[in-house]
Amino acid sequence: MEAYAVIETGGKQYRVEKDTVLSVERLNEEAGRTIEFDQVLAVSDGSELTVGTPVVNGAKVIATVVENYRGEKVVAFKKKRRQGYRRKIGHRQELTKLKIESISA
């Protein structure tokens, strides 16, 4: 089994492994920059799992920013029948694509 970690960013938790590419909420970093996550909630070396209370001391995950982009448009549409009530609103989330370089505990 591969080594993995559970990190927290943008109010969400992500299970990551080395060389994983994932999209998270927008981070204020340019493409090509290296960032370090110290909010590591759990770390596994492949055989043993270490769970933090709430974070694992000394654990960190290093990632490289691949790109900043906007996600797909999500349309929220409300309607009440026979009332002439219709509301349509769209939203595109700002996202950052990350590539996980290393996990250390």
Residue 77 has a pLDDT of: 98
| pTM to 2 decimal places | 0.84
Rounded CA separation 57/75 (Å): 42
Residue 27 has a pLDDT of: 94
Residue 2 has a pLDDT of: 85
pLDDT tens, the chain, 105 aa long: 789 999 999 999 999 999 999 999 999 999 999 999 999 999 998 889 999 999 999 999 999 999 999 999 999 999 999 999 999 999 999 999 999 999 988
